[in-house]
Structure 1
Amino acid sequence: MMTESFKNLAKSTSLLNIYLCEATTYPAVLAALNLASFPRQIIHVLVNPKDYQISSHNHFLNPLAESPHLISHLEFQATLHKDPWDIEPDMRRVDVAHNEFGRHYSGYKSVTPQVSKLAAKLSSVKEVSFRGCDTVPRLRLCHGCEDAWVGIFAKNTYSNLTHLDLCGGYVSGSRLRGFLKRHSGTLQHVMFDFVSLTDGNWCSIAKGLQKCPNLNYLDVGPDTTTGRYIGSLLQRHASSPLAISLPKKYVTPGLEASKLQSDDSHIDVILRNTKDVAHWLDVFVRYFATDKSIAGDCYEAFNGYKLPVYHEAPLDKYLEADEEA
């Protein structure tokens, strides 16, 4: 029945993607698509390391490796770290360095050789997403996130890549810059949301994005001036400002106001065309600076655990500048 359904949908313009979020669905859906000789990449596949801790790799990963012509979007998902208020008081200190559910912490690696080989085999995907372990930087370096970048993203080239989406994780700035450089000719859509650089800085990343001629969508998350307690772009080391002060009368188009709750809101910095992206990146690079982040202060208050110091690129500084910028 599934095969016949896919045959009927082969020419449908409404069917944009099929999201496979459970490993148990991989074999049946991919088998049906192949039997239907489905003509285009349609699968958005979620790879979560915890799914393979209790199950055979081959049963779930082989169907993916055998069907690269059907997979358009590769998403790697770490199990999110719980917020401190969701953890029992006597478990808060233990939870900082606990990962029985695949949570990232020092010394933890999740990418097996089979998963790494799969990522290399899926080199024709158009979209890549990395969902890290947390929005708050609780570690100086997360070995789990580092392992994901080394094993899946840093060493691979995705020849048709148009979309890159990084959210809530630790990433090496130098490796991310190298990834952007390799894919500069194809990238069109980039999103960074609560990403912590363990080396390098966001100015260097912005310079890499400036070399992507087709980039027409850039989302760098919320600014920190209207109710947010954490910046979206964080880095391990402070950066000195490249200019004394910002010009005064420039307003970046394409920003979205999002309602958090009845008495609070924030601004998402989202640029939606090539001109706006280029202009915002130019201002960001020329007047780049960082502030010490207050991310995680609430976590320290809960369990007394000392979080590492990170520095954030305060996006609000790039929302207003001079017409001559």
Structure 2
Amino acid sequence: MLAQLVNTYPEYVQLVYRHFPLNRIHSNAQKAAEAAEAAGAQGAFWAYHDALFATQAIWAEQPPATAREHFIQLAAELNLDLEQFTADLDNSFYAPRVAEQEAQAKALGLPGTPAVILDGDLLTGQELTRSYFIWDAYVQLRLLEDRQYTAPPPMQIDLTTTYLAHVEMASGEQFVIELFPQFAPQTVNSFIFLTKAGWYDGVSFHRVIPNFIAQTGDPTGTGFGGPGYTLPDEINPALSHDRAGVVATANTGPNTNGSQWYITLASVPQLDGKDTIFGQVITGLDVVQKLTPRTPDDPNAPPGDTIARIWIEEK
């Protein structure tokens, strides 16, 4: 998982390794760490590290002398200078380095492995997710910060003007949304502002549930991203999610609207009173209905259909 993050974001994610041998639990942990350092001195730290973990079940419970032979055998398989490797291992040449890193780990309060310090907070046990989706989302959200805003845009729309949002998909297909500035002025104003800023360009429909909704508006594609500001609800009881093509805000609770929005794929009146309706698909609903079903946290989900651009027509 860590390697995948590094490979995906080589300019932003670095893996910094520190030894934390659990000597009270694993009698050979100290020498294994020293062996890895000895291999590292010959440019083979990660290859040796991977070999150690692949064979941990073999050497973990061996007597020290037998484990030593195993460590040397691994070095031989990696074509290392065995004379130098063995000398470094037997003379405990890298023991001080391992001990220093162990002391650093203890000073940070690490109770054991695995553990992660994230933005200054120590995560262990159930707090430490094994989900690649969550870690990937965290990185993407941090990168999104450079594009976010500190406050909603000033009101720039005319409530008497008709606004049509032309949504062009990467496939070349299009659909058109008539916006409702008279019912949801702040929401429509924000949508038009973000559209003109290119916020939605290249953004996918990250969550598509047949006979329910198709959701988009998050540049990270995770469902967690937003523009950096929130908008109040503008719920009008005269409007309803009573048919396919209704466009409304997606949020995490009352007054938490941002850049995400969805289109209903059927009548879903259970959403009435919860989300701000700010538009209706007036042409191209067939394009919306055939969007690829997916959920962003499914590792086997197909890629989401992508918006190429949106442009606003005023009448």
Please confirm whether the aligned pair reaches a TM-score higher than 0.5, indicating the same fold: no
Shorter-chain TM-score bucket reads under 0.3
The two structures have a TM-score, normalised by structure 1, of 0.18
Which structure has the larger Rg?
2
TM-score (norm 2): 0.19
Structure with more of its chain in strand, by fraction: 1
- Greater relative CO (CA pairs within 8 A, separation 6+): 2
